[in-house]
């Protein structure tokens, strides 16, 4: 766990971003904990205000229960995702949105037999991009120890929580 309050880890630049076009071919598809994450809009393109990710969630994959220093929102594009939100379970399908305020314990999982895709908007911006890049790098090195994953997440404003922290099981 980090020692700074969650709100202190959320940083936004003051410079207004320039209008940009970001060709899809310029974005890397990162393998992260069994899922694939593509940074569609990075913090550099948004003036540090947010980052937008495309999540590809194969069946049986999901994130551990966690809380973040920034807000996060999801738009399910295809398939079904189960979200654990502060101890309650929510099923979300195509077109459904899920809004997760900062510091709210949450997780997402694809418990179905079909792939799922979603967009995720995070106000952690560059910190979230760096976290996904670091998790992809440790995965490529075969470092899947939970302590390593927890430490990498904490360095980037994301606290991985035990399932009991949300008052119920994690997804």
Name the nearest CA neighbour of 10 among 130, 126, 104, 99. 126
pLDDT confidence of residue 11: 52
Residue linked to tokens 């904490």: 154
Residue-level pLDDT, tens digit, the chain, 171 residues: 444 454 444 455 546 567 888 888 889 899 999 999 999 999 889 988 999 999 999 999 999 999 999 999 999 999 999 999 999 999 999 999 999 999 999 999 999 999 999 999 999 999 999 999 999 999 988 877 899 999 999 999 999 998 765 554 433
Name the phi and psi angles at 166, rounded to 5. Answer: -100, 5
pLDDT confidence of residue 3: 45
Domain definitions of the chain by residue range: 24-166
CATH for the 24-166 domain, from 3.30.70.20, 1.20.1090.10, 2.60.120.620, 2.60.120.10: 2.60.120.10
């Amino acid at each position: 766990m980090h020692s700074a309050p969650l709100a202190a880890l959320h940083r936004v630049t003051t410079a207004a971003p320039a209008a940009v076009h970001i060709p899809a071919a310029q974005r890397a598809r990162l393998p992260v904990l069994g899922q694939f994450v593509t940074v569609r809009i990075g913090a550099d393109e948004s003036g540090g205000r947010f980052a937008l990710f495309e999540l590809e969630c194969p069946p049986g994959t999901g994130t551990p229960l966690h809380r973040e220093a920034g807000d996060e929102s999801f738009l399910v594009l295809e398939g079904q995702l189960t979200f654990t939100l502060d101890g309650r379970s929510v099923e979300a399908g195509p077109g459904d949105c899920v809004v997760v305020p900062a510091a709210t314990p949450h997780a997402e999982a694809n418990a179905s037999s079909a792939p799922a895709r979603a967009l995720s908007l995070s106000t952690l911006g560059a910190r979230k991009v760096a976290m996904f890049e670091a998790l992809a790098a440790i995965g490529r090195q075969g470092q899947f120890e939970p302590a390593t994953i927890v430490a990498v997440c904490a360095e980037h404003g994301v606290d991985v929580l035990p399932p009991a922290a949300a008052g119920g099981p994690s997804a």
